[in-house]
Amino acid sequence: MTDPPARPALSDAAPPPPPPKPRALWTFALGAAPAIFVWLVMGGWLATMLYNRANWSEEADEALVREWLEETRNFRKTLPELVREYERLREEDPTGTAAPLRLRDKRSEMEELMHGLAEPTRAYLNQLPGFPVIYRLEVVFAPTPGGPETPEEIVWDSTLPRPRQQSRVRVHVLETRPLGPNDPRAVIRCEYQLHAFNKLQRQEDERHRISLVAEAVLVAAALLAVLFVARFLMRERKRETQRMAALTAAEYRERELLKTRLRQQQAERARDELDRKLLEQQLDAANLEKRADEAEKTALEMKSQLYASIGIMAGSYAHNIKNLLVRPNDLLSRCLEADGMTHDQESMLLEVRATLGTVTERLQQILRTIRRDPNKSEVTRVNLSNLVRDTARTWDEMGRDKWKLRVTADVQPGPHWVNGDLSHLQQGIENLVFNARDATFEMRNFLREEARKDGAQNPAARKQRLIEAAGWRGEVSLSLRREGDRVVLEVRDNGIGMTDEVRANCLRTHFTTKRDNALYEGYSAGMGLGLSFVAMVLEHHQAALEIESAPHKGAVFRIRFPAAGE
């Protein structure tokens, strides 16, 4: 690839203009200073007036009423002095039984004094300036230890109606404690109204009107100040906005130019990165293809080696068997040439010679099949129905007579066509039948051993168990059916079964559980080639093998062949 053309670096672009400096705060403050000064002066003056108005009158009224209560003497003593004397009497006689007359006289004295204090305010209502209007005057004594639990009250209540809530005149409540500021044993409470319909009230109304005018003036001045400041700020903001808009537009144009250059650089880098990744992917694909070819070649070599090993062994066995058949054929020929045999004897010898000929032909077929590469097998349309029935018929008679085994076939009606090599399929099915036969041998031997162990203490039970074990019969059933686009062949037995470990390894070449087992003495078993040959044949025929088995529960070999077209 050629080097990409040089691109301008982002740092070579013209630097953006400096951001505008904000206006100083003192310039805004200088423009709004007159209005702010006027507003502050008027606000301070009005606040002073309102404060004086709110506090002076109420405090003066309260001080006047307090002095009236504490200093007024109708006789010899004031009301606080009488309250203190009465409280001392209550402390000396809490129950009121020692000197009830003294308490009653002192109470009557306080009632007369309260009447004398409050009654003139009602008698001379609206006639004496500065005179308070008393609505209620009461003295409350807290309960004493040993005395009544409820507070004791001495009350003077006026018959005058109190002002309505909508009235501008308000009733005040004043409380004094004659025994001390923090002593709650006695409280004098007065409900009053002062400056009612007098000169002070009129002065108060005049001040109220003046304060309203001042408030109106202050509000108007504040509104004018706010309008002035708002107008000034809006004008300054408009100027500042126009200046910032111009600077923003220039900065935006510069930024867009820089973004365009940056996008060009990113696009070129992305294209270069894409080219690099494409080359890496092509290289990875070439490496994967190369490894796949090597793996396929290795697998083919291993299959060829496996098949060659199986072929050499099986060919050696078949060749030896063929050689052993030469002598029986020669003897049969001599017997047939001899004289003096009956017709039945001659028929039986001819049948024996025909059977040996069939065996010899079958050995030749096995040799040709084993020596042939599976990849070059003779693929034809094979009817598995006929093959399964022939296999069961061929081995059923020998199984009953020699192996104590029953071989049956359950074939679904109709032909079941598959594409495959007839010889390979025939050998594969027979290998499964022989494997099932061996499993029944082991199961029979297991039952005999268990009978000998379990019946050691009971001879009768042991004998019965041995009889049952001797009468046990092995069963191998072949079934064939159609399931959708698959032809399913099952080979089921009631043999010894397999553990999970044996089931996982039974298809491996040279794996066997029969080698060095005296049960198979004299049988061509224990080489670990039968099921491995079956697995290789099924793989070549694109068939799937499923194995179900458990110890002492038999086994099921289920094969699913792709069905051939009718």
Give 555's pLDDT tier (boundaries 50, 70, 90): very high
Residue with tokens 């005049």: 206
Give me the helices (H) in 478-529, please. Answer: 500-505
Q: How confident is the model at residue 257, as a pLDDT? A: 92
> Distance between CA atoms of 485 and 480, rounded to whole angstroms?
14
The ranges assigned to domains in the chain are 72-197, 377-562
Give 26's pLDDT tier (boundaries 50, 70, 90): low
pLDDT digits (tens, 9 = 90+) for 168-227: 557 788 888 888 888 888 898 888 876 544 455 566 667 777 877 877 887 887 788 778
Q: Are 258 and 13 in contact (CB under 8 A)?
A: yes
Report residue 121 as tokens.
Answer: 């305010």
pLDDT digits (tens, 9 = 90+) for 443-486: 888 888 887 776 556 777 777 888 887 778 899 999 999 999 99
Q: Are 526 and 515 in contact (CB under 8 A)?
A: yes
Q: Could you write out the DSSP letters of every residue in 74-91?
A: SSSS-HHHHHHHHHHHHH
According to CATH, the topology of domain 377-562 is Heat Shock Protein 90 (3.30.565)
What percent of the chain stands above pLDDT 90? 16
> Distance between CA atoms of 79 and 141, rounded to whole angstroms?
14
Residue 381: DSSP 8-state: E
Report residue 415 as tokens.
Answer: 């032909």
Give 14's pLDDT tier (boundaries 50, 70, 90): very low
pLDDT digits (tens, 9 = 90+) for 392-427: 888 888 788 788 889 999 999 989 999 988 888 888
57: pLDDT strictly greater than 70: no
Residues paired with residue 547 on neighbouring β-strands, in sequence order: 557
261: pLDDT strictly greater than 50: yes
Query: Which contacts (CB < 8 Å, 24+ apart) does range 317-321 have?
Result: 317/524, 318/363, 318/366, 318/367, 318/370, 319/367, 321/359, 321/363
Q: How confident is the model at residue 566, as a pLDDT? A: 61
Q: Which amino acid is at 521?
A: E
Report residue 170 as tokens.
Answer: 């308000």
Tell me how crowded residue 561 is: count the other CB atoms within 10 A of its CB: 23
Q: Can you give 185-250 as a three-state secondary structure string? A: CEEEEEEEECCCCCHHHHHHHHHHHHHHHHHHHHHHHHHHHHHHHHHHHHHHHHHHHHHHHHHHHH
> Distance between CA atoms of 394 and 389, rounded to whole angstroms?
9
Q: Are 314 and 366 in contact (CB under 8 A)?
A: yes
Give 54's pLDDT tier (boundaries 50, 70, 90): low
- 116 burial (CB, 10 Å; 0-12 / 13-18 / 19+) is middle
> Distance between CA atoms of 561 and 380, rounded to whole angstroms?
14
pTM metric for this prediction: 0.42
345: pLDDT strictly greater than 50: yes
Give 11's pLDDT tier (boundaries 50, 70, 90): very low
The average confidence (pLDDT) of the chain is 78
Q: How confident is the model at residue 369, as a pLDDT? A: 63
Q: How confident is the model at residue 300, as a pLDDT? A: 66
